Amino acid sequence: MRLFLFSLFILPVLLFAQPKIYGIDDIVGLQNTRELGNGKLYTFLHSADSFRRARALCALANIQDSASVDSVIPLLNDTVSVVRQNAAFAIGQIGDERAAPALFERLKKEDDSTCLAEELNGIGKCGNHSDLVRLGALENSLPREALQSYALSIARFALRGVKDSSATFSLLPLLSIPSSIEIATYALMRINDTAFTKCEYDLFAANLKNGSDETRMWTATLLGSVHESVIENDLIECSSSDSDWRVRVNAIRSLRNFDDTAVRSMLMKFLDDKNEHISLTAFSILEQVKKENISAADIQKLKNMLVQKSRYSWRQRGEAAIILAKVQGEKSVTLLSRLLRERNGIREKVITALGETKSLRAIPFVKKQLAQQHASTVIAAIDAYAELAVAGTDASRRSFCEDAVRLLQRGDVGISYEVAVALQDSNFIGIVQQHFFSDVETAFKKLNTPIDVEPMVEFIHLFAKSNDKRVALLLETAIKSDDHTVSAAAAKALNELTGKNYDMLVTKQTMFASSFFKESEKAFLTRYRGAEIMTNKGAIVIAFRPDAAPFTVLNFILLARRHFYDGLKFHRVVSNFVIQGGDPRGDGSGGPGYAIRTEVSPDAVYTTGAVGMASAGKDTEGSQFFITHCPTPHLDGRYTIFAYTTDRSVVDNIQVGDAIFSVTLVEK
């Protein structure tokens, strides 16, 4: 069965034993081109080779064509377990609720735990409310080893917004079973039934002392939805004393719902915590505290942090600047403007802080940053300038639009994206229509797929919000784009603009436009078993999963051989979620100049230490990768996993701005 059932920590360790590699064959090729091969892929479902049947099902799971469901369902009864497992996985990925009854029927006779787990998982991904009710009635009839999968299935329903009280209550007995308590708690966290949580408060409070880090972590999040003083005290204690920083992070985040003196005092204390994840999380919650609840002593501490470079990182000082700006407004402009002289990452944070002042005095300082060469600085300035303009005058709003549109001439994908998003504000749309429509139109026509897909989609959203008949021709051209995402966005905009249905004109998922590898380079899949990512915090050794994501592994290998990653930084870190790197631009919008396909597999799930590919949607992956701090089941089946690592201590110490010195491939 899916190794998730055994333990949330075992999977990464087990996977360091190199799996059998089947390479890139004709089935995987069809999966990559998102084609059925004129029905050829369906013929593999009847192959005498059970592996090819299973592999064809996995390909259909990746293609996600609802028309294939009828061809998949019969294989739920295949005599070979791995085929049944992949059939259930395919049904779940396709997400067609018509297939749920077939999964329920299979449950009655399934004797393989791996298949049973995937069948339950599939029901959670495709079932409707009636199916959830039906599932909730099965708890007592399932074998004990399937209870984790049962809980995860209910969580899958909740992730899609499908909930039912009977299913929620069926999870209660699972909280007393050591093997299922973690996932049952996760499911209840995702359901987030406040009344239920209040009713069972004593049980959940006890779970804050559970021996499982994940149970405590998810319980802390679950309790955050209940506004009770006794829960506040429990969360404060948990955030102060738990042995796992991830649990403390979740407890601190749950304190956002308690804006009082006790919480504020605790948050101010956490700013000095030796674990930067704790400190930065406390800053993020303090940003939401009402400014009248920030004392004079708190303000002075924030000011002191800004000048104590040796004691606090630029990240901490940058967050202090943002809170100070929100609390003091115009009074903080002079102090903040001085920090713009620094050349480290604090500059972008200070620019953001200047925007938070909502003061016209800050505009000249922010506007000056638009001329900087580094895109991340300009992007921060666009956001801050927009904030200031909205809070300002008609003249400041007109000035912002003029300056923002001018930035489109730089032809930078990240800057164009940010401008398109900013101009969608209702304060700017009318100005753009009246004065700058032709400039925006010209900029949009210069964008190209696949590199500019994200800004193209945002410009289409801008056009839709403008309700201007002149955009119809632009959208009718965009709907013919060879990129499905752009075409679909244009169709939706035209639907809203004209009231007519354009869905039939949407471009289907196209073939892989250009190969990023040579035929001879496929051999690298059998040559390398992993890689060592050397950072300024230490080495992260990853073990590849070519069986689960062959093209993604090959892509990473080729980029590493080109030294693509050497010298790049981790540009995104979300505490107790992921660290993310691999962007040559450093602002989250960069890549290798091409896109590769999403690759998902039933045997690759998001546990702690999973190495996945960042994307802007299905089939938009490039070079950016992330590594998880904790299990993240909500990412399963959505984001490619191509490797795992057990170097948790190094991953946990990475923060935004930390560097990748080199990536060295490890041969077998």
Residue 31's CATH number = 1.25.10.10
Find, among 165, 157, 169, the residue nearest to 128 by Cα: 157
CA 119 – CA 192 distance, rounded (Å): 24
Residues 483 and 605 both lie in one domain: no
CA 450 – CA 27 distance, rounded (Å): 25
Instruction: Kindly state whether residue 102 falls inside one of the protein's structural domains.
Output: yes
pLDDT of 509: 64
With a CB cutoff of 8 Å and minimum separation 6, the contacts of 406 are: none
* Helix (H/G/I), strand (E/B), else coil: 666: strand
What is the separation of C-alpha 541 from the centre of its chain, rounded to a whole number of angstroms? 22
Instruction: Kindly state whether residue 398 falls inside one of the protein's structural domains.
Output: no
Instruction: Kindly state whether residue 379 falls inside one of the protein's structural domains.
Output: no
Instruction: Kindly state whether residue 368 falls inside one of the protein's structural domains.
Output: no
CA 496 – CA 493 distance, rounded (Å): 5
Model confidence at 23, pLDDT cuts 50, 70, 90, reads low
CA atoms within 13 A on the CB side of 1: 22
Q: What is the tens place of the pLDDT at every residue in 359-409?
A: 999 999 999 999 999 999 999 999 999 999 999 999 999 999 999 999 999
**With contact defined as beta carbons under 8 Å apart, do 622 and 596 qualify?**
yes
SS (H, E, C) 598-664: CCCCCCCCCCCCEEEECCCCCCCECCCEEEECCCCHHHCCCCCEEEEECCHHHHHHCCCCCEEEEEE
Residues 73 and 91 both lie in one domain: yes
**With contact defined as beta carbons under 8 Å apart, do 90 and 58 qualify?**
yes
Average pLDDT over residues 492-520: 82
Residues 497 and 540 both lie in one domain: no
Model confidence at 555, pLDDT cuts 50, 70, 90, reads very high
603 pLDDT above the threshold of 50 = yes
Residue of 196 and 259 predicted with greater confidence = 196
Place of tokens 């966005």: 489
With a CB cutoff of 8 Å and minimum separation 6, the contacts of 507 are: 479, 480, 481, 482, 483, 484, 487, 488
pLDDT of 7: 36
pLDDT of 577: 98
Residues 505 and 533 both lie in one domain: no
Residues 497 and 580 both lie in one domain: no
Q: Is the pTM of this model over 0.85?
A: yes
CA 624 – CA 12 distance, rounded (Å): 21
Burial pattern 136-170, b for ≥16 Cβ within 10 A else e, equals bebbeeeeeebbbbbbbbbbbbbbeebbbeebbeb
Return the amino acid letter for 563. H
Residues 424 and 546 both lie in one domain: no
pLDDT of 70: 96
528-535: strand order across its sheet? 572-574, 578-581, 625-628, 610-613, 641-645, 538-544, 528-535, 660-667
Instruction: Kindly state whether residue 183 falls inside one of the protein's structural domains.
Output: yes
CA 324 – CA 314 distance, rounded (Å): 15
Q: What is the tens place of the pLDDT at every residue in 572-581?
A: 999 999 999 9
Residues 485 and 612 both lie in one domain: no
CA atoms within 13 A on the CB side of 485: 18
Dig out the tokens for 96 from the structure.
């067609």
Find, among 364, 360, 294, the residue nearest to 322 by Cα: 294
Q: Which domain holds residue 426?
A: 412-445+451-512
Q: What is the tens place of the pLDDT at every residue in 115-164?
A: 999 999 999 999 999 999 999 999 899 999 999 999 999 999 999 999 99
Average pLDDT over residues 154-183: 97
| Cα separation values, 414 from 153, 338, 407, 592, Å | 38, 27, 11, 14
Please report, to the nearest 10 degrees, the dihedral formed by the alpha carbons of residues 610, 612, 618, 624 taken in order.
160
Using the 3D structure, point to which of 210, 244, 272 is the last residue of a domain.
Answer: 210
Q: Give the Cα-Cα-Cα angle 12, 123, 61 (nearest 5 degrees).
A: 65
CA 47 – CA 53 distance, rounded (Å): 6
- H/E element, 176: none
Residues 496 and 523 both lie in one domain: no
Residue 659 pairs in a beta bridge with: 569
In this structure, what DSSP letter does residue 19 have? P
Q: What is the tens place of the pLDDT at every residue in 216-245?
A: 999 999 999 888 888 999 999 999 999 999
Q: What is the tens place of the pLDDT at every residue in 63-105?
A: 999 999 999 999 999 999 999 999 999 999 999 999 999 999 9
Sort 176 into a burial class: Cβ within 10 Å, 0-12 / 13-18 / 19+.
exposed
Helix, strand, coil percentages in the chain from 3-state DSSP, rounded to 5: 60, 5, 30
Model confidence at 179, pLDDT cuts 50, 70, 90, reads very high
Model confidence at 514, pLDDT cuts 50, 70, 90, reads low
Q: Give the Cα-Cα-Cα angle 609, 612, 665 (nearest 5 degrees).
A: 80
5 pLDDT above the threshold of 80 = no
Dig out the tokens for 253 from the structure.
């985040």
22 pLDDT above the threshold of 70 = no
- The CATH number of whichever domain residue 583 belongs to comes to 2.40.100.10
326 pLDDT above the threshold of 50 = yes
Q: What is the per-residue DSSP string for 546-559? A: TTT-HHHHHHHHHH
pLDDT of 218: 98
Using the 3D structure, point to which of 177, 210, 243 is the last residue of a domain.
Answer: 210
1 pLDDT above the threshold of 70 = no
pLDDT of 422: 98
Residues 24 and 58 both lie in one domain: yes
**With contact defined as beta carbons under 8 Å apart, do 199 and 226 qualify?**
no
285 pLDDT above the threshold of 50 = yes
pLDDT of 510: 55
Instruction: Kindly state whether residue 225 falls inside one of the protein's structural domains.
Output: no
Dig out the tokens for 553 from the structure.
């592994």
User: Number of structural domains, the chain?
Assistant: 3
Q: What is the tens place of the pLDDT at every residue in 118-127?
A: 999 999 999 9
4 pLDDT above the threshold of 60 = no
Average pLDDT over residues 491-516: 81
CA 591 – CA 189 distance, rounded (Å): 35
| Cα separation values, 648 from 13, 579, 611, 627, 643, Å | 12, 11, 12, 10, 14
CA 149 – CA 166 distance, rounded (Å): 17
Model confidence at 25, pLDDT cuts 50, 70, 90, reads confident
Residues 458 and 588 both lie in one domain: no
Dig out the tokens for 122 from the structure.
């599939």
CA atoms within 13 A on the CB side of 570: 23
In this structure, what DSSP letter does residue 483 have? S
Find, among 536, 550, 614, the residue nearest to 582 by Cα: 614
Place of tokens 């303000």: 299
CA 169 – CA 139 distance, rounded (Å): 11
Residues 460 and 563 both lie in one domain: no
Residues 490 and 531 both lie in one domain: no
Find, among 336, 419, 408, 345, the residue nearest to 376 by Cα: 345
Instruction: Kindly state whether residue 507 falls inside one of the protein's structural domains.
Output: yes
CA 130 – CA 192 distance, rounded (Å): 20
Find, among 456, 435, 458, the residue nearest to 446 by Cα: 456
Instruction: Kindly state whether residue 279 falls inside one of the protein's structural domains.
Output: no
Query: What are the residue ranges of helices labelled H in 357-483?
Result: 363-368, 375-390, 394-407, 413-422, 426-431, 437-445, 453-466, 471-478
Return the amino acid letter for 341. R
Q: What is the tens place of the pLDDT at every residue in 395-439?
A: 999 999 999 999 999 999 999 999 999 999 999 999 999 999 999
Using the 3D structure, point to which of 210, 236, 257 is the last residue of a domain.
Answer: 210
Model confidence at 17, pLDDT cuts 50, 70, 90, reads very low
Residue 532 pairs in a beta bridge with: 541, 664
